[in-house]
Amino acid sequence: MLFTDDGLVPNHPRWPLIIYRAAVEFEGRLDPAAVMEDLFEANGWGDTWRDGIYDYVHYHSRIHEALGVVRGTARVRFGGSKGPIFKLKAGDVAILQTGTGHQRLSADDPFLVVGAYPATGKYDECTGVEERSRALKTIPKVPRPRKDPVYGSSGPLRSLWSNDK
């Protein structure tokens, strides 16, 4: 799904948000968060964390982000304050290109996400107009990740986030 600039959240000018439904199955006694962390890290996405999704609109202008739901469900808005709402549940993975606004609208308890970032880029958090002019310059310059965080080198991210698009 592609989003347009909404005046506050730039979104990405060429690449779509990717959501993999039921991408990861959690079986047995394994810790679901550890399973998601291992998957992301095996595909070159690190700096993992465990938490929820912020309840305010924000985006990252210098790095892409993977969000893997490991427990519960949530309603999440992507693309800015007027963007579409998606219900995410355990096993789903959302891959946000730089500039993608995101916000948790509601979640059940317990809701837990594992987040990760590709090797290239630098974490930042943008929420207002003061970051906008810099973000508009940096977002298109962030390179495409070397691997898809779920499917590795053969994953669809590489073609969906082509430099030709």
Q: Which CATH class is domain 18-159?
A: mainly beta
Check residue 145 and report its DSSP letter. P
Structure tokens of 9? Answer: 């959240």
What pLDDT was estimated at residue 163? 74
Bridge partners, 106 (sequence order)? 75
In angstroms, the CA 12 to CA 99 distance is: 5
What pairing do the DSSP bridges indicate for beta strands 102-107 and 93-96? unpaired
Domain boundaries along the sequence of the chain: 18-159
**Which regions in the chain score pLDDT beneath 50?**
none
What pLDDT was estimated at residue 164? 62
What pLDDT was estimated at residue 128? 83
Contacts of 29 (CB under 8 A, 6+ apart): none
In angstroms, the CA 12 to CA 5 distance is: 8
3-state secondary structure of 32: helix
In angstroms, the CA 87 to CA 71 distance is: 13
